[in-house]
Amino acid sequence: MSQPQPFEPRKVRVINDPEALKALGDPLRLRILHTVMREPRRAWSVKEIAALLEQPVTKLYHHVKLLEQVGLIVDVETRVVSGIVEHRYQSGQLSLQFDDALFGSPVTRDASIQQAATLVEESRDELVTYLSRPDADIDAVHLSRAYVRLTEDEARAVMAELERLVDGFAAHKDDATREGLPRTAMLFLVHPQAG
């Protein structure tokens, strides 16, 4: 069997192809990927992922293989454990970014819309789960919504500022002094109002 190879995930994976977008279209695959991305330098077995997600191991094999086929996760180690071949996987990237062109292409438009909806729903579920905990720190949650009229230049400036913020936070991902800090989820959504 192969020995563990040092693997360094890429900083950002831009999702710009239909196969990767399709792989992310399934909520369970998205949960698997987010689990692995939480600790991107850890090598995970399917059994460990299944235990964390409270899913049967057999249910995850197909999903893990699909994520591996599009490079979202990487098989970094193969070994024999109690006579059974075990594969260990790492995230292929530290963060994901979706190419805006996916919404405009007839080939990827529907899948892109579904992916955006899945991300919003997942964020909603994470927020509800956190706020339902008896020890939830409501002061650590910020939620705001505004309806504004922006010129095209102003809208681009808002999105550029959000990207700058995210890039600034991502720059600290490898800072060992932050390992004990709780993880914070952020979803920024800027879109024109329909109708």
Element (H, E) at 128: helix 109-132
Q: Which long-range contacts (CB under 8 A, 24 or more apart) does 183-188 make?
A: 183/38, 184/140, 185/123, 185/126, 185/127, 187/119, 187/120, 187/123, 188/162
Relative to beta strand 93-98, strand 10-15 is parallel
Domains parsed from the chain with CATH numbers? 1-139 (1.10.10.10)
Q: How confident is the prediction for the chain on average, in pLDDT? A: 87
- Using alpha carbons, select from 9, 78, 82, 2 the residue that is nearest to residue 42: 9
- Residue 68, CB half-sphere, CA atoms under 13 Å: how many? 16
What is the model's pLDDT at position 116? 83
In this prediction, residue 67 carries a pLDDT of 97
Given a cut of 60, whether residue 3 has pLDDT beyond it is: no
194 or 134, which is more confident?
A: 134
CB-CB contact of 41 with 82 (8 Å): no
pLDDT at 1: 52
Binned at pLDDT 50, 70 and 90, residue 158 comes out as: very high
Q: Is the pTM of this model over 0.85?
A: no
Q: Average pLDDT, stretch 11-29? A: 88
Q: What are the tens digits of pLDDT across the range 27-86?
A: 899 889 989 998 888 999 999 999 999 999 999 999 999 999 999 999 999 888 888 889
